[in-house]
Amino acid sequence: MAEHRVVLVRQWDQQLGGSGCCGRLDGEAVRELHGHAEQPYAHCRTDMEAVGAVYRALRSVFRADEVELTVVDPRNTAWMLPAVWRDARRRGLRWPEALRQLNAATRACAVVCDGLVLDCGTEPEQVVAAVEADLACRGRTAGGNPLSRDG
């Protein structure tokens, strides 16, 4: 299990169309029900694709045993809030700052590294640099080893 976790907040079609045990309406189901609906979730597609590019960039740099990458919908607060809280407290954030991180983590396209929401946008190179900088400023990666990409 990785010592660090990066949470990428990304909307999911299924979550936009409903949730729970009563069923979900993904984009395909909505198109079947309403043939005139081109892309019912097009307003979110750009963000979804941006977060996908960020995920691929992070995975190309960090091994699974270095950084756990978790993708979560912003409405999945039942999982996200306790996870971000635990990560923030483990990181050493005091409870008022941890609460601020919880609030910031619920916005679409947020990038949360060990309980801290990074201000890095959605450009993959910027996100990778921000995660690397966050890990480096704490002087470690998984297993307590200094951050090193040289091998």
- Domains in the chain: how many in total? 1
User: What's the pLDDT tens digit per position in 90-131?
Assistant: 999 999 999 999 999 999 899 999 999 999 999 999 999 999
Residue 64 lies in domain: 4-14+26-143
pLDDT at 94: 97
Tell whether 20 is covered by a domain.
no
Tell whether 148 is covered by a domain.
no
Which whole-number Å values give the CA distances from 5 to 18, 38, 64, 110, 111, in the listed order?
28, 36, 10, 13, 10
Q: What is the pTM of this model?
A: 0.77
Ranges in the chain, pLDDT < 70 = 13-43, 140-151
- Alpha-carbon gap, residue 72 to 61, rounded angstroms: 20
Count CB-CB contacts under 10 A for residue 82.
11
Tell whether 19 is covered by a domain.
no
8 Å CB contact between 120 and 127: yes
